[in-house]
Homo-oligomer: A and B are copies of this chain.
Amino acid sequence: MPAGAQTFTVYNHMLLPMRYTSSLDEYEALITGVTIWDVGAERQVEIQGPDAAALTQYLCTRDVSRIRPGQACYTFVCNHAGGILNDPVLLKLAEDHYWLSLADSDVLLWAQAIAAERGMDVAVREPDVSPLQVQGPKSGDLIGDVFGPDTRDQKYYNFVETELDGVPMVVARTGWSGEFGYEVFLRDGPKGTWLWDRLFAAGESHGVKPASPNQIRRIEGGILSYGTDMDQTVTPLELGFGRFVQFDGAEDFVGKAALLTQAARGIDRRLTGIRIGGDPVLSNSAHMDVQLDGRSVARLTSMVYSPRFDANLGFAFVELGCAAPGCELEIITSNGGLLGIAEAIPFVEPTKSI
C-alpha cells in the first residue's frame, strides 16, 4: 500500500486498512484536520425496481417513506426476532432505487431471500460502489475545492449524485467518525487509486492525512460498531434506539412483531456508556467483566483511552438499574478493579467551560 497501511481487518470478505501511523496520530489528524479513509470494504446492497420501496421498508426498522431522493438515514436491519443483522446507512437514490451502505455482515443474501420468497419485482445486487470517507473539521475545505460549494454545503445525511472528471460518484454528508465529514461513493471500482490520489493532491494544502476508522473518536461520540457493540442477540430497543423503530406506521417490517412485544414487556438491559478512571487501559480491554457490588452484571463491548477526556471510555449492556447515569460499577482488569461510572452516550467532554 503506497500510503503505508500497517494493519488490516477482515470486513465483508475484504481487507480493510486499520492503521497507517498510530491510532493516536490518526485521532489528532481527525479531530483537528482532514483525513481520508479507504473503506472500500463498506459494501452496498442495491435495491432497484417497482417493489424497491416496499422491500426496503420491509427490511428496515425506520419509516423509509419519510426520506426523499437525495436523503439518507441510519437504520437497523433486524431479523424476525428483532435481533440486529446490520446497522447500515440507507441512501434513497430514487423512489425505486436504494442503497444499504452496510456494516460488517452479509445482508445481500438476506435481502435476496426475502425478496424472492415474497415474490417481489425487484433487483437486489451488490453494485460497483467503493466508498472513501473524508472526515475531520477541514473536510469541507477539501470537498469544496474538489466538488464545489453546493456539495460542500449540503445538510447532514443528504447526498448528491455527481461526477469528477467524468467518473460517476455519490458524495454524502455522512461518516463514521463523530466529526464533520463526507463519504465519497465511487461508482467505478478501477478508478479507486486515481480517486485516492486525486483527493490527496487536492487536500495537500489542507494537511490531509490517510487514516482508518478511529476507535477513540467513535467511542467518544457514541458511535456503535456492528459485531462489536451489537449483533443478532441485541435489539434496537436494548441499544436505546427505539426512536429508530417505526412502531406507529401501518407498514410491516421484519422484526416488528417481536419488537412490539419487547416494547410492551419492557427491556431487561440496555447499553450504557461507562467512564473509567485510572491510567490508560491498553487495547483488548473489551470483554472485561463489569460488576455491581461484587456481582457480574455485564461485559464491556468496547473500551478505549480518550486523551481528550483523560479517561477510559467504554460501552456495556447492563441491567436497567445500573444504566442510570452516575451508577457506580467496577471494571475488572488484570491489574484489579477500576471504578466505572455509567454515563449517557455520546460522552460529554467534562473540560468544556459553559
Contact = CB atoms under 8 A, between A and B. Distances in A.
A127 to B, nearest CB: 14
A109 B85 contact: yes
Interface stretch (A112-120, A188-196, A197-205, A273-281): A112-120
Contacts of A114: 113, 117
Q: Which of A107, A113, A114, A254 has the most CB of B within 10 A?
A: A113
Contacts of A112: 79, 110
Contacts of A3: none
A308 interface: no
Nearest to A15: B10
Interface string A211-236: 00000000000000000000000000
Interface string A279-308: 000000000000000000000000000000
A68 interface: no
Contacts of A105: 109
A114 B110 CA distance: 8
The main secondary structure of chain A at its interface with chain B is mixed
A121 interface: no
A101 B85 CA distance: 22
A161 interface: no
A13 interface: yes
Contacts of A107: 109
B13 A116 contact: no
Interface string A89-128: 0000000000000000111111011101110000000000
A60 to B, nearest CB: 15
A79 B85 CA distance: 20
Contacts of A117: 113-114, 117-118
A155 interface: no
A114 B118 CA distance: 10
A105 B114 CA distance: 17
Contacts of A108: 106
Interface in A1-52: 10, 13-15
Interface string A125-168: 00000000000000000000000000000000000000000000
- A-B pairs with lowest CB-CB distance, top 3: A106-B106, A113-B113, A80-B116
Interface of A: 10, 13-15, 79-80, 85, 105-110, 112-114, 116-118, 254
21 contacts: A10-B10, A10-B14, A10-B15, A13-B13, A79-B113, A79-B116, A80-B116, A85-B109, A105-B109, A106-B108, A109-B109, A109-B110, A109-B113, A110-B110, A110-B112, A113-B113, A113-B114, A114-B117, A116-B254, A117-B117, A117-B118
Given A85-B109, A110-B113, A113-B113, 11 more contacts: A10-B10, A13-B13, A79-B112, A79-B113, A106-B106, A106-B108, A109-B110, A109-B113, A110-B110, A110-B112, A114-B117
